[in-house]
Amino acid sequence: MVRVSFVVILYCVCVLTPSTAQNGSVAPSQGTSRMSEVIDGSVHPELIPDATAYRLWFIASSEFPNATPAEQMRQKAHLGRAGLSDTDIQAAAGVLASFKVQYSQLIAHYNESDTKDLGALIHNREGLVQATRDSLRVVLTPEGMAKIDAHVQREKRLMKVAKEGQ
């Protein structure tokens, strides 16, 4: 049931853009009405870039710093599916909370901007994803980071990503 929900969430985030993100803000739109080609991870997971896969996994597995007990339990279950120990789950939760705040601010800033510089948004978004990966490498055990890396690679099989929306 949780895995099916994760697939549905990822599908909505990836394919139905613009959509309402988990934080309630609207995802950025390129203003195009034509359907873009979709990469189906169940067929070609290797075509989904790591940066895209990590971003989607970070979005799905992160909570705000003031998460409710239910949200914290959901996150713990989500991170536990990656095989993380309780110690690594606690460490990852802090890094992912920072990601959630920064990502929400990034999207809000783009949505409020008059210029809609998509190139800058993508550049900043990719930088945030890389910085989050780097932070996880610092706070997690080597085994914990290896488990996340392997988990994200497996999760690519459940993702559908619009080529334009990467």
Select the more confidently predicted residue: 7 or 93.
93
DSSP characters for 64-117? -TT--HHHHHHHHHHHHHTT--HHHHHHHHHHHHHHHHHHHHHHHHHHH-SS--
* Residue-level pLDDT at 36: 72
- pLDDT band at 163, cuts 50/70/90? confident
- Domain count within the chain: 1
1-50 pLDDT, tens digit each: 444 444 444 444 443 333 333 333 344 444 444 457 999 999 999 999 99
Domain that holds residue 130: 2-162
Segment 126-151 shows an average pLDDT of 98
State residue 17's pLDDT score.
39
pTM (2 d.p.): 0.78
